[in-house]
Amino acid sequence: MKVQDMDKCAPSSDWNVLYWVLGTILMPVALPLALINIWQRFQAQKFRNQLPGKVVLITGASSGLGESLAHVFYRAGCRVILAARRTQELERVKKDLLALDVDPAYPPTVLSLDLAELNSIPEFVTRVLAVYNQVDILINNGGISVRSDVASTAVDVDLKVMVVNYFGSVALTKALLPSMVKRGSGHICFISSVQGKFAIPQRAAYSASKHALQAFADSLRAEVANKNINVSCVSPGYIRTQLSLNALTGSGSSYGKMDEATAKGMSPDKLAERILQCILRKEPDIIVSDVQAKIAYYLRHLCPSLYFWIMAKRALKLEKAEKKST
C-alpha cells in the first residue's frame, strides 16, 4: 500500500471530532441508559416467570386494545377478569381465550361494568374481589372518544367523555386501592393516549380527559411508591380499533366512521405485548407512537409557539374539509 492510500484510510479530523462528541458527551448518558435497559430486561424476565396465576382486571375488554390485552395476559397464564358493558362481546372474547392452547389456563371471568355509572363501581369491585379475593394488576383501558369542535359540543358530551375516561377509572382505582395497600402489592396501569400529552383540534373533551388521567397517574404513583404498588401510564398513538366508530359527535350521537388515521394505526396485539413488557419492567410512563406524534410531543413542550401555529393550521384545514362535505 502506498503512503498516499494509507492517508486516505486514516480517520479525518471530522471523524475525530465525532468520536470526541460521542465519547465525551453522549457516552456518559448512553452508557447508564443502556445499563438501565439491560437491568429492566433482566427484571422483566424474572417477573414474567411470576406472571402465571396473577389476577388481571381489564376494563374495556370487549373489543380493540382491551381484547388484545386479554389475549396477551391469558396466554401468559394469568387469571383474567374481563369487564365492559357488552357482556355478549365479553363472552365471545372468553370463548376465544378458552379455545387457545395455554398452560396454565384459568377460565376467564366476565363481569359487566359501566364506567359512566360511578355509583355502581364500589359494588362492581365487591363482585371482582369475590372472584379471587385480590387483583394484582388493574388495567384501566375502557374509554370513548369524540369528534367535534368545542363550539359545537354539548356540555353533556364533554361530561360523558370525562366521566367514562377519567372519573370511571378514578372511581375504580380508588375502590380497588385499599385491597392492594392491605396486601402490600399491586400494579395499576392507565391507558391514556398521546393526546394526554398534547391536544389537537376537534378532540378537546377526549384530550382533556386523557390529560387528567395522566395527572392522576403521576400523583398516585408518588403516593403509593412506598407501598410496593406500581403505576404505569401508557400513551399510545393511533391504534387500529373501533375507537372512531364508537366515538361521539358534538350532539352525543354516534360518529360511526372509521378514521383514516385509526385504520392505519398500530396493531392492538403488538401494543398489548408492549404494555405487558411495560408492566413487567415497572415502567412509569411510556409513549408508544410513530415519529410524527413524538415530534408533536417534543414541539409542544420545547417550542410551544410553533406547535400552536401548526395546530391552528390543522384546525382551519379540518373546518374547510367539514364545510366542503356538508
Ligand X SMILES: NC(=O)c1ccc[n+]([C@@H]2O[C@H](COP(=O)([O-])OP(=O)(O)OC[C@H]3O[C@@H](n4cnc5c(N)ncnc54)[C@H](OP(=O)(O)O)[C@@H]3O)[C@@H](O)[C@H]2O)c1
Q: Give me the active site residues, please.
A: 206
Cα–Cα distance for residue pair 223/247, rounded to 1 Å: 33
Least distance in Å: CB of 163 to ligand X?
A: 8
One residue of 236, 248, 272, 283 binding ligand X per CB under 6 A: 236
64 binding ligand X? (CB under 6 A): yes
127 binding ligand X? (CB under 6 A): no
Residues 6+ apart with CB under 8 A from 125: 172, 175, 176
Comparison of 45 and 292: residue with beta carbon closer to ligand X: 292
Strands 186-191 and 285-288: unpaired
One residue of 153, 173, 193, 214 binding ligand X per CB under 6 A: 193
One residue of 51, 55, 58, 65 binding ligand X per CB under 6 A: 65
Do residues 145 and 247 touch, judged by C-beta distance below 8 A? yes
Comparison of 191 and 231: residue with beta carbon closer to ligand X: 191
| Helix spans in the chain (H) | 3-9, 13-21, 27-50, 64-75, 87-98, 121-132, 155-162, 168-183, 204-224, 260-263, 268-280, 291-302, 304-325
Do residues 68 and 269 touch, judged by C-beta distance below 8 A? yes
In Å, how far are 107, 109, 118, 125, 162 from 134, measured between CA atoms? Answer: 16, 13, 21, 10, 28
62 binding ligand X? (CB under 6 A): yes
Q: Distance between the two ends of the chain, CA-based, in angstroms?
A: 75
Using only C-alpha atoms, the chain has a radius of gyration, in whole angstroms, of: 23
Cα–Cα distance for residue pair 93/185, rounded to 1 Å: 28
Site for ligand X in 267-326 (CB under 6 A): none
Which residue of this chain has its Cβ atom nearest to ligand X in the complex? 64
Site for ligand X in 238-267 (CB under 6 A): 238-239, 241-243, 246, 262, 265
Least distance in Å: CB of 146 to ligand X?
A: 10
108 binding ligand X? (CB under 6 A): no
Do residues 178 and 157 touch, judged by C-beta distance below 8 A? no
Site string for ligand X, 6-45 (x = CB under 6 A): ----------------------------------------
Comparison of 89 and 218: residue with beta carbon closer to ligand X: 89
Comparison of 253 and 326: residue with beta carbon closer to ligand X: 253
Least distance in Å: CB of 4 to ligand X?
A: 59
Site for ligand X in 143-182 (CB under 6 A): 143-144, 164
Least distance in Å: CB of 113 to ligand X?
A: 5
Least distance in Å: CB of 242 to ligand X?
A: 4
118 binding ligand X? (CB under 6 A): no
Counting residues that bind ligand X (by CB under 6 A) gives 31
Cα–Cα distance for residue pair 257/124, rounded to 1 Å: 32
Amino acid letter, residue 13: S
Amino acid letter, residue 161: V
Comparison of 51 and 191: residue with beta carbon closer to ligand X: 191
Beta bridge partners of 288: 236
One residue of 48, 75, 85, 282 binding ligand X per CB under 6 A: 85
Q: What is the grid cell recorded at 88?
A: 355478549
Positions touching ligand X (CB under 6 A) are: 59-60, 62-66, 84-86, 89, 113-116, 141-144, 164, 191, 193, 236, 238-239, 241-243, 246, 262, 265
